[in-house]
Amino acid sequence: MTTAHSRRRFLRSSAALAAAAAFPLPALAQKAPRVLVIGGGFGGASVARELRSIDPKIHVTLIESNATFTACPFSNAVIGGLRDLKAQQFGYDKLRAAGVNVVIDTATAVNATSRTVRLGGITLPYDRLVLAPGIDIRWGALPGYDEAAAAKMPHAWRAGDQTTLLRDQLVAMDDGGVVVMSVPANPFRCPPGPYERASLIAHYLKTSKPKSKLIVLDAKDQFSKQRLFQNAWKELYPDHLEWVSLSAGGKVTSVDPATNTLATDFGKQAAQVANVIPPQKAGRIAEIAGVANQTGWCPIDPVTFESVLVPGIHVVGDATIAGAMPKSAFSANAQAKVCAAAVAKLLTGAKPQEPRLINTCYSLVAPDYGISVAGVYAPAKDMLAEVKGSGGVSPLDATADVRAAEAVYAEAWYRTITTEVFG
């Protein structure tokens, strides 16, 4: 497919679409408008930077709890021992250089009536607020899995210490050990993520601990890029990876950290290393601001990414209910550009344009074996729907050269997006 071979065009064209939506530049009111962005991941950092490049007169403040951001894409390669965690980490110096006021602190309250955000001892006013809080773990949704359990059975679904913990456990495990991964039902961050991780753990076991095995217990029968993954597993990891689907009794119903055991409706599975990917919800501040609904995620207007629950607050990235768009770094970045263009328009009372958004997700099945899925999305009936006939997945019958090329594109994609957002 051609889409996988033109990743640069994706970034450039989605940037162009967002930029086109922002022109002509509206005349601003005398007072500089203030935009607050909470959350400095792919979505929030992109919104902040994009707003400054659309109009340097907009006063942009980015609030983020951590001085260093640890990226999730490619963190599965850290778990698989192919990459250092440092390659996942970025600071905010380039955002500061772009004129973004970066505040390392934690927002504790949002008042949508007075349009203020509280953090530490101070209160910051805003004209428009953008939340990019990513995900939080839904503690307690899986019986037995709380914060204490995560210290023993890591989720590693928010990159950082948890990534290192899971990696260290795999390294410390004896050859012959059983690794068990639990995958939740939809929706969750990074739909192909668990299967990329399973692949790279299996790769590590095959090359370093060949008597060991990974069992993936899944609450689903279908998943992203399924046939591509399953074909690759049959070819590369027939003895090291076993996937147990929902209909084969794979749904994990509880975990016991004391015995490192995962229970399903039909049995129990003890693990030397347990990686529990738990049910998730929008990041903490979404609930505080009142923009998350009963699902735990945030419904948004697909043109402006403004919350349908609280006016004046926009939400981008994994926290949103974005219809057909997956929860990915690329989606967050694309949504951020559309949201920034819309916010710039709304600040002057102009009407935002209907966007087109693009997403691509690469997954590594082995160091030299990449696969991808791509799609184009547009607003339809208050949701984001996939444009018919757009995108697609890597071919099922590709040669080793194509797979190796996609692994290179994956790496190049990561460099491109992290440079655009943080570099």
Q: What's the DSSP call for residue 351?
A: P
By the 8 A CB rule, do 266 and 299 touch?
Answer: no
Total residues at interface with other proteins (CB under 8 A) = 8
Count, residues in the chain: 423
Map residue 345 onto helix, strand or coil.
helix
- Asked if the bond preceding 302 is cis, omega within 30° of 0, the reply is no
Among the residue ranges 151-159, 247-255, 270-278, 337-345, the one whose residues contact other proteins (CB under 8 A) = 247-255
Q: Which is nearer to other proteins, 247 or 295 (CB)?
A: 247
By the 8 A CB rule, do 363 and 342 touch?
Answer: no
Site for other proteins in 281-310 (CB under 8 A): none
Site for other proteins in 259-278 (CB under 8 A): 265-267
Q: Which of 82, 246, 387, 404 binds other proteins (CB under 8 A)?
A: 246
Write the DSSP string, 234-282. Answer: HHH-TTTEEEE-GGGT--EEEEETTTTEEEETTEEEE-SEEEE---EEE
Give me the least distance between CB of 249 and other proteins, in Å please. 5
Give me the least distance between CB of 219 and other proteins, in Å please. 12
Q: Which of 120, 249, 395, 423 binds other proteins (CB under 8 A)?
A: 249
User: Which residues, at least 6 apart from 419, have a Cβ–Cβ distance to it below 8 Å?
Assistant: none
Give me the least distance between CB of 138 and other proteins, in Å please. 22
Residue 236 in the binding site for other proteins (CB under 8 A): no
Q: Which is nearer to other proteins, 243 or 409 (CB)?
A: 243
CA-CA distance, 116 to 401, in Å (whole number)? 54
Residue 247 in the binding site for other proteins (CB under 8 A): yes
Q: Which is nearer to other proteins, 265 or 368 (CB)?
A: 265
Residue 186 in the binding site for other proteins (CB under 8 A): no
For helices 400-422 and 42-54, give the axis angle rounded to 10 degrees: 60
* Binding residues vs other proteins (CB under 8 A): 221, 246-249, 265-267
